């Protein structure tokens, strides 16, 4: 598993913005930028369907809660 570069090419593919669990805040793209600042309601995590999961061999979920992939 690799760290995910916080690049524009990657950000536009992140699906956190469509996620029902996403905290209501401007921060996003959590596997690269780290955990959010608000409590996370677990209503499902879309990371498994995200193209970056395959690209970077990610296996985690709820990065908005647990922090950046490392």
Partner 1 sequence: MGDTLGNLKDAFAGESQANRRYLAYAKKAEEEGYPLVARRFRVAAESETIHAHNHLRVMGGLKSTADNLRASIGGENYEHVTMYPDFIAQAEKEGNEEAKYSFHAANEAEKFHEKMFAEALEKMEALGDSRFYVCQVCGMTYENEVPEHCVVCTAPKEKILEVA
Which residues of the chain form contacts with partner 1 (CB under 8 A)?
8, 11-18, 25-29, 37
State how far the Cα of 37 lies from the Cα of 10, in Å rounded to an integer.
Answer: 21
Structure tokens at 49: 């369907």
Among 25, 30, 39, 70, binds ligand SF4 (CB under 6 A): 30
Which of partner 1, ligand SF4, none sits in contact with 55, Cβ below 5 to 8 A by type?
A: none
DSSP type of residue 43: S
- Residue 27's binding partner among partner 1, ligand SF4, none (Cβ under 5 to 8 angstroms by kind) is partner 1
């Amino acid at each position: 598993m690799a760290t995910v570069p916080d690049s524009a090419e990657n950000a536009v593919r992140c699906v956190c913005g469509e996620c029902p669990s996403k905290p209501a805040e401007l921060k996003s793209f959590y596997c690269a930028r780290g955990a959010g600042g608000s409590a996370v309601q677990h209503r499902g995590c879309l990371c498994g369907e995200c193209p970056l999961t395959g690209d970077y061999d990610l296996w985690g979920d709820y990065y908005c809660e647990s922090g950046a992939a490392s």
